[in-house]
Structure 1
């Protein structure tokens, strides 16, 4: 394997400032744009979290008595959203390529508004199920395109922090949904007199941030990498200048644009050489999907991206089983299940009443949100690998303790309240470790490791895998709990161990590596023909002369800054 080294400018750091919180403070424009785009993550988290409180509201049960009395139907009501999300994530790759990442966000919001409006006004079960699926399609689209968009507009030193805003927005949405449920349950009282507004208002409320994002999409900048792919180079240059807040003459802008152009030209020429007889875009797209699975360097990237999604779902077996058939049927695992079914779970460990269980669930939302913030501050300093390893240890330890508590006290929660609270505390510790580790990194790495021509396709497969695995885990866990009881927790603990070992030996560090230079980590440009093609592209773009000039200018700028300091 021959990995191309950038001899002309490889020793130049294209940096626009420090990493972490200092870099975000010094880059208010791109930070604000990323925060706004992350409303897509807020919608994902809010819709995911709001259903948990609604399921235990008495007015919801009165409106849908069949659903309230059938645990299997409740499980499908929750799970059907994941099926829609899986479909939305898979189909959004070609949409994001054809119409841009920006308009893909807009289209997803239109679908979200339709689904949310039907949910809030639902009068029967078909309306509930259809609206949940429609909303799921939108959430799948947003969960795929928002991190992709953020990774493509971010400078290398802030890419991890900006993409991590997706997870922060998700946790913010979950937290807001939990506490809104907690407040609206009192509309009309918490008993038989509870108003329908108690559950309809939280479902309708999500239309407002969706409308805000849909309207604001018209003001979001295009991804400069998509613009280059669309042969709109001057627009890409202008967008880069706005995003980086530097003039067009800045050598870093010229270098970054050259890197993007070189990667784009290389992909175009390689595509033409590989598929000389293919003219239709659909056929080319199908060939590129195939390449993701058969070319070694692309296959390795896809495996890492999908494994992150797979392990994310299989590292979270923190639930407890009640003696009732309803709880057994509703039992789910993974981080999403803690969100969906947290009120029921906290009841099972001795916390009584809707208010208390919703209050305990609200703590989950706060912890999830707060412990995402350190990743935004430090991931571009610490790196992806270190954070994944720390999270694996923390999650695994929590799994072990909760599983052991469940094995000892599963039939005696009511007489051992302290054990129940200990289980709740370690559930919260698990949530904290999940939030800062794989909860963030699983969005970051897939969006940054793929080459331009297959980036959206690779990300769509990875995020689709997340939703598919989520659905599968939700189906198998009740049966596992019935057959192996507390062994289920140790089963999921094993995946925390797998995560730790896998990261140590097979996951490279992508911290600070420009998207266009990921081939240096994963290969690509394999063989003399590809190497010659890339060198030819760089020569035509004038990399050698540009690199020498830029290096001199950047070194002079650094020296001036050091003198001032």
Structure 2
């Protein structure tokens, strides 16, 4: 047989089991051996960047609110929503376009390209002279975030042995929250080094909290430490460069090679990351061949074909709604706006930035617990646990703000000195519990990486993750407005009600994917959803 089929999907017949055995015997590894764990560590630097670039804005925004004379950008509430929103819009575009590019050119190729986009976006944001230029580069940075969120889980799932696929893909989620914790930590260090957001009035450095509601004092600002946000943003270039260097040493996805008919390359790539004597490379390749043989009876798959075909349309819709509900947990309101939430609960801006680290730690611990949960329990059961805990946490926050904090708010929105000291700390505890449950129960990225058939995996993943980011934009833009117009209590009550619907969705609709290979899942879904 030939080493590979002609073109992306040529006309040569699929190899027989005997030909696969011979190909596996005669094909050497395509490069140096790489441990699957190392491959996951390198690839998920893209996820760490995803986490850093989404989390860093929480600490940067209080400095961006400072007047331009103080080095800030004089943000308004609407502009604050757009700073986060443009990243989400860019991420939606990056997920959709990046998914298509990864199907066409390869997962590894896509991650290498995204590493360069991460660098360009981070530098552009850092050097932005105005909020309008910042919007442009937040969109560019979002493109890289979205592309990584669509490509990295697929790259991991396609390279992982079936026995550790769930925990390995969970590394992706762990690195996202690690990136967020890193961002919060650097934000806290830089904020403390600068004494928190401060402005210079009449030659004296004053906390921004003390003058923000005083128009004459704001007009008298002549300087300040508003440039601190730029130092927070530029640090993202370091892991981006490390990602580019590391991915150059990793193999392409063997399943991407096989989906495009290049079986010799698939064998060579797979041999680089499989353990001799433990993993049956020939069996894995034969499963890939079986799926390709079944799909060869159909016309070339496109997004249109995916939507027109009954069973793939159903799978795509499930993936889209899994993404929608992941964002409607409200998790990114904590990621982007926690200092704002804590200020609403009565903490100063400087202390709010520092306390953000506590929720980042809770998020990381939760993600580590998630390794155990996804390895031990069914995906659906973990998702049901997540939605139950998130719903209860959101309703608890609504009650604390509605019954505890709101009665102690002044007319200008500040917190009166009569507020019981434990209430702001109760908000910190509840938010920490919320992010712990959300991160320990997150199966969104695992399910997204396992649901879709190989021919459209990158494209379908891109569409569903793109829809996820569009919902992220809606939530990110709407949250500051909801807090201002509805108040924190009703805002969290609305999110809690939405998550009741999400819980029903996990119970009634989401399929189980844990105990099957990707090829077995594809055949199961074809049979289940075709009628």
TM range (shorter): 0.7 to 0.9
Q: What is the TM-score normalised by the length of structure 2?
A: 0.82
Does structure 1 retain, via aligned residues, the 8 Å contact 2:65–2:76? no
Q: Structure 1 residues 346, 478: closer, same or farther in 2, change over 3 A?
A: closer
| Candidates 247, 253, 259, aligned match of 1:223 | 253
| Candidates 341, 351, 358, aligned match of 2:347 | 351
Does structure 1 retain, via aligned residues, the 8 Å contact 2:64–2:226? no
Q: Secondary structure at the match of 1:405?
A: helix
Superposed, which structure 2 residues align to 1:241-390 within 5 Å? 241-246=271-276, 252-271=280-299, 284=300, 288-315=302-329, 334-354=330-350, 356-390=351-385
Does structure 2 retain, via aligned residues, the 8 Å contact 1:400–1:489? yes
Q: Secondary structure at the match of 1:80?
A: helix
Which residue of structure 1 aligns with residue 9 of structure 2? none
Between the aligned partners of 1:66 and 1:146, the Cα distance in structure 2 is 35
The Cα shift of 1:520 comes to: 4.6
Which residue of structure 2 aligns with residue 423 of structure 1? 427
Are 2:100 and 1:94 aligned? yes
Does structure 1 retain, via aligned residues, the 8 Å contact 2:65–2:72? no
Deviations 1:1-58 (A, max 9, x none): xxxxxxxx9xxxxxxxxxxxxxxxxx99101211110000000110111111111137
Please identify, of 342-351 and 500-509, the stretch whose mean Cα deviation from structure 2 is larger.
500-509
| Candidates 255, 259, 270, aligned match of 1:240 | 270
Which residue of structure 2 aligns with residue 563 of structure 1? none
Q: Secondary structure at the match of 1:518?
A: helix
Q: Structure 1 residues 79, 525: closer, same or farther in 2, change over 3 A?
A: closer
Please identify, of 497-506 and 480-489, the stretch whose mean Cα deviation from structure 2 is larger.
480-489
Are 2:132 and 1:104 aligned? no
Does structure 2 retain, via aligned residues, the 8 Å contact 1:309–1:442? yes
Which residue of structure 1 aligns with residue 44 of structure 2? 38
Does structure 2 retain, via aligned residues, the 8 Å contact 1:187–1:198? no
Q: Structure 1 residues 397, 526: closer, same or farther in 2, change over 3 A?
A: closer
Q: Secondary structure at the match of 1:221?
A: coil
Does structure 1 retain, via aligned residues, the 8 Å contact 2:103–2:457? no
Q: Structure 1 residues 492, 252: closer, same or farther in 2, change over 3 A?
A: same
Q: Secondary structure at the match of 2:448?
A: helix
| Candidates 395, 398, 401, aligned match of 1:400 | 395
Which structure 2 residue ranges, 5 or more long, are not aligned?
1-16, 18-32, 200-204, 206-223, 409-414
Which residue of structure 2 aligns with residue 453 of structure 1? 455
Between the aligned partners of 2:66 and 2:306, the Cα distance in structure 1 is 45
The Cα shift of 1:213 comes to: 0.6
Between the aligned partners of 2:348 and 2:50, the Cα distance in structure 1 is 29
Which residue of structure 1 aligns with residue 13 of structure 2? none
Q: Secondary structure at the match of 2:407?
A: coil
Q: What is the TM-score normalised by the length of structure 1?
A: 0.77
Q: Report the aligned-residue RMSD.
A: 2.5
Q: Secondary structure at the match of 2:35?
A: helix
Number of equivalences: 466
Superposed, which structure 2 residues align to 1:450-489 within 5 Å? 450-477=452-479, 480-481=482-483, 485=487, 486-489=489-492
Deviations 1:195-217 (A, max 9, x none): 56632222111111100111111
Between the aligned partners of 2:524 and 2:490, the Cα distance in structure 1 is 39
